[in-house]
A = this chain, B = another copy of it.
Amino acid sequence: MTASLPVPAPHAPSARAAAERLAGLAVPAGALGRLGELGTWLSAVQGQVPPRPLDDVRLVIFAGDHGVARHGVSAYPPEITAAMVRTFVAGRAGVNALAGAHGVRVRVLDLGVDDDLDGLPPEVGEHKVRRGSGAIHLEDALTAAETAQALAAGRRVAEREVADGAQLLLSGDMGIGNTTPAAALVAAGLGLGAGDVAEVAGRGTGVDDAGLARKREVLGAALERAGERAADPVETLTALGSADLAASVGYVVGAAEAGVPVLLDGLMSVACALTAERIAPGTAAWCVAGHRSPEPAQTLALARLGLDPLLDLGMRLGEGSGAVAAVPLLRSAVALLNDVALLSDLGDLVPTDA
C-alpha cells in the first residue's frame, strides 16, 4: 500500500437531499433519533436517496496470533486462535450464529495464525503473512515488508468483496492476546506514551488483576520500545501491530476508497479504523460504530474518530459480533427513509395546520 492519499468524502448532496427527505416524513422533527442520522449517512455513502436496501452485507474476520500472548496478557492460551478459526469455518462460533440470524456473509482469513491450519479451505490462508506476529514489548511485530504486504492484502480483500457486490463491510478479529497490540495502536494514534498505558489497557476476554498489571507492563514496554516510530501510522503497525491488524487497517482503507461503508466492531476493529484514518485521512467518514466495547481504548479511539456506537450491550466477544448485531439498525434506517409516507403525500389524512 502506498500510504496516505486522502479518501474522498461521502456524497454531500445526497446527505443534504436525505436530510430534506427526512424532514418531510410523516414523523415529528427529530423523532427518529440516530436512525434518522444513520439514514442520512447511508444516503451519503451510497450517493443515493433514499438509500438502497442492504441486501449484501459481509464480515471478514482477520485472524492472527500475537507474541505477547505467551507473556501473561490473556486469559486464554494462544492455541485457541487456531481452534476458533476452525470454528468459524465450521459455522459454529458466536458470530456465525448472529450472522445467520441477520443475513451476513462471514469469511475468515488467516493472516498470522501460529498454526498451519491443515485441512481448511485454501482461501483461508491465501493472504497469510507469517506464523504469529512478534511480541511487541520485545521486538517488532512485523518487518516493514510484512506490514506493506498485510496492508495490501487487506485492501485487496475489501476491493474483491466490493467487486463481488458487497454493499456494507464489517471487520472482525480473532487472535488471543490481540487487545494488547490493539491498545498499543490506539495509544500511538492518540499520541499517548508509556506513562499513559492505564488509560488504554482493559481486561480483554477477562484477564485477572495480575494479568491486567502484566498487560500494562507489556504495553508500556512496547510503547517505550517503539518511541518516535509511533508517530507514523505504518511504522506503528510494524512496531506495535500484527499481520491481522495491519490487514484489517488495509481493509477499512480499501472499503472507503471503493466508496463502500464499514460497520465497525470492538476494540480491534476500531483501533484499525483509527490507524486507517491516520494513513488515509477521511476514512472515518465511511465508518459507523456498531457496539461499545468495555475496553477503554475503544472509547478513546471512537471519540477521536467522532463515532458513537449504536449498541451498548456489554458484549466482549470480538469476532465482529457487535457489528453484526447492529446490522438490523442500519436496515431500520434504510426502511424508514424508503417506506414512511411523506407529509406531502398524505393528502387528506393529515390536517394542513399540523
Chain A residues in contact with chain B, CB under 8 A? 25-35, 75-77, 79-80, 83-84, 86-87, 90, 92-94, 96-98, 100-102, 205-206, 310-318, 325, 328-329, 331-332, 334-336, 338-341, 346, 349-351, 353-354
Contact = CB atoms under 8 A, between A and B. Distances in A.
Given A29-B206, A83-B346, A335-B101, A341 B92 contact: yes
Contacts of A34: 313-315
A32 to B, nearest CB: 6
Given A35-B325, A80-B351, A335-B98, A341 B90 contact: yes
A247 to B, nearest CB: 23
B26 A93 contact: yes
In the complex, the count of this chain's copies comes to 2
Nearest to A316: B31
A206 B33 contact: no
Interface-centre pick from A77, A332, A339, A351 (highest chain B CB count, 10 A):
A332
B100 A335 contact: yes
Given A97-B336, A101-B328, 19 more contacts: A26-B87, A26-B92, A26-B94, A30-B314, A31-B317, A32-B315, A32-B317, A76-B354, A77-B353, A79-B351, A80-B351, A83-B350, A83-B351, A87-B346, A93-B340, A98-B332, A101-B331, A311-B311, A325-B332
Contacts of A26: 84, 87, 92-94
Closest 3 pairs between A and B when the two form their complex, measured CB to CB: A33-B314, A328-B328, A92-B341
A285 B329 CA distance: 26
B83 A332 contact: no
